[in-house]
Amino acid sequence: MKLAFSTLGVPGLPLPEVLALATAHGYHGVELRAHPEEPVHSGLSPAERSGAAALFKDAGVDVLGVAGYARVAAPGEDGPVLAEIRDLLHLAHDLGAPFVRVFPGADPERPREESDARAARRLGTAAEDAAALGVRILLETHDSHRTGAAAIRILGPVGHRQVGALWDVMHTWLGGEQPSDTYAALAPHLGYVQVKDIASASDTTPLPLGAGVLPLTECVDVLLRRGWDGWLCWEYEKRWYESAAPLPELLGAGREHLLRLLDEAA
């Protein structure tokens, strides 16, 4: 498997410094948080996009994905959501990234079937743009659809190869789902896996990998036993937790922990 980390852990850090961290600590790729407060977002000019892509190419580091914030199950008109996804797809294409991340974001006060159908309709429409650009849209196990069983209610009806799943191990655990059940639900659609660690269900402050309660060993074991050979991306949510230890000083030990889990599972 290949290893990556998310820029959510180093908010606002210039790309040359992000790439220096990746190369210094042996990570194969970086997941880019697409937001105006970050170096990479949909408002970049063509020249800025080509410059960012060149930085990654020169460093020998992959752009794993563009982590956007479109909420495909949210109430409202389809147009703005589809426009947001389209912008993310073009950004990913210009950077050479294979994936775009979206959230479910359903309103808990609305009927579940209505939200699921809305999300599937939007993703099915966006899939045509994704196919034309050679980018895959991944629905993250998050918020209203935090388990594999919930995500598949959307992904199943879409039925398009350019729409898949991003497995966030924290959210499936918080949803009470076992790693083997998550994998069984998402396997035909799985793009990559976000790993992290936390102290408890009531304290989701990011911790060094292996220092918390999340079932990382079980997740890696399930993936290897089923022959999955994709990306593990460490999403360290420093952006939301100022008191968390700085990610740069943890990257080396984090990589070693993941490699150890992979060796033990193998």
Specify the DSSP element, H or E, that contains 255: helix 251-265
| Average pLDDT, integer, range 221-249 | 96
Residues of the chain above pLDDT 70, percent = 100
Mean per-residue pLDDT over the chain, rounded: 97
Instruction: Report the C-alpha gap between 57 and 167 in whole angstroms.
Output: 27
Position 266 scores a pLDDT of: 83
Position 72 scores a pLDDT of: 98
Residue 220 — pLDDT band, cuts 50, 70, 90? very high
Q: Does the pLDDT value for residue 114 go beyond 90?
A: yes
Instruction: Report the C-alpha gap between 65 and 63 in whole angstroms.
Output: 6
Instruction: Report the C-alpha gap between 19 and 60 in whole angstroms.
Output: 9
For the entire predicted model, the pTM comes to 0.97
Instruction: Report the C-alpha gap between 136 and 144 in whole angstroms.
Output: 21
Total domain count for the chain?
Answer: 1
| Average pLDDT, integer, range 178-185 | 98
Residue 45: CB atoms within 10 A of its CB come to 8
| Full residue range of the structural domain in which residue 26 is found | 2-265
CATH number for the domain spanning 25: value is 3.20.20.150
Q: Does the pLDDT value for residue 265 go beyond 90?
A: no
Position 261 scores a pLDDT of: 96
Residues of the chain above pLDDT 90, percent = 98
